[in-house]
Structure 1
Amino acid sequence: MFEILWRGIAMGVGATILMDIWAIILSGVFGQPASNWAPVGRWFWHLGRGKVFHDAIADAKPYEHELALGWIGHYAIGIIYGLVLAVIMGPSWLAAPTFIPAWILGIVTVGAGWFLLQPGLGLGWAASKRPNPNKVRALNLIAHTVFAIGLYGTALMIR
């Protein structure tokens, strides 16, 4: 079991790092706004106090360490997803990883952003309150595919 746990943690960290590198590339090369994990940290802070959905997270009471909490939450969720994949797929997959299970998990996890985080931040279901929701949705799907590549790539490296 320890083998599955450490591999799941490593896959989650590796995948999250790759996703962050992708965000840096999008920002530097394509002019996408840089990632800002402070609103997510504020959301996590209020989540712990029983408030899930906000009209606008910017209007919620600030938390002094929200940027740090946002980064911690970002990596914690990535680790949880890595653990889920490792536990579901088990030792045989970890010994000979294939991309499709990682990609399916990556795409499924978009739902957490669309139906929990984005409405929680006040962005609407699947970014419906954003000026260009279809662009946001496409970028979400691409980012989670990059995350899946990170899960798979890390699994290959540590097998």
Structure 2
Amino acid sequence: MNSQLILHVLLVGVSATLLMDAWALARRRLFGIASLDYALVGRWLGHMRYGRFQHAAIGKAQPVRGERLLGWCSHYLIGVAFVGLFVLLVGPQWFCQPTLLPALLLGVVSVAAPLLLMQPGFGMGLAASRMANPWQVRLRALVTHLVFGLGVYLVSWVVAQLLALPLCP
């Protein structure tokens, strides 16, 4: 990837993740639905350096120094990484004329990370199977990640309209 493409991926990844966080904030304020505490993500990741990848209940695990910052930074880095992988799969030319369906498919595919990795690691079971309302948790995760995919599309579309990208003819 050239440096301009890397900057583009950073911009789209961070912006789409911001939109996802705005959705979580709106959902909490409008509907009283709590969002993920990214300090717990940092705690989970922080314990990995000691070889601990799974917890019975992440909220009861020993706190890790700097867990909130680690969790939030990881959240945004993961968003950027998903956009980077997306570009590798669909090609950088997609940014020239972005279309909605591939971006939404990215959102659908990206929901595998919390369902198959994070939730089991947190002690919630595979795809939140140990939660009281697993389908509700799954649906919320899917909608949140669809918002991420929508953000990838919207930001890419706006950038394509405003900037003459060197990778576009």
Q: TM-score range by the shorter chain?
A: over 0.9
Contact 1:4 1:90 in 2 (8 A): no
Q: Does 1:122 align with 2:113?
A: no
Describe how 1:59-70 pairs up with structure 2 within 5 A. Answer: 59-70=60-71
TM-score calculated relative to the size of structure 2: 0.89
- Which letter does structure 1 place at the counterpart of 2:144? A
Listed as ranges, the gaps of 5+ residues in structure 1 are none
Q: CA RMSD in A?
A: 1.2
Q: Which residue of structure 2 aligns with residue 52 of structure 1? A: 53
Q: Distance in 2 between matches of 1:16 and 1:131?
A: 28
Deviation at 1:36, TM superposition (A): 1.2
Q: Distance in 1 between matches of 2:125 and 2:5?
A: 36
Q: Distance in 2 between matches of 1:53 and 1:139?
A: 22
Q: Count how many residue pairs are aligned between Structure 1 and Structure 2.
A: 159
Q: Distance in 2 between matches of 1:89 and 1:7?
A: 15
TM-score calculated relative to the size of structure 1: 0.95
Q: Distance in 2 between matches of 1:110 and 1:91?
A: 23
Q: Distance in 1 between matches of 2:104 and 2:36?
A: 22
Q: Deviations over 1:99-127 (max 9, x none)?
A: 11111111111111111000001111001
Identity within the alignment, %: 39
- Which letter does structure 1 place at the counterpart of 2:60? D
Higher relative CO (CA 8 A, sep ≥ 6), structure 1 or 2? 1
Deviation at 1:60, TM superposition (A): 2.2
Contact 1:39 1:70 in 2 (8 A): yes
Find the structure with the greater CA-based Rg. 2
Q: Which residue of structure 1 aligns with residue 25 of structure 2? A: 24
Listed as ranges, the gaps of 5+ residues in structure 2 are 161-169
Q: For 2:91, what is the secondary structure of its paired residue?
A: helix
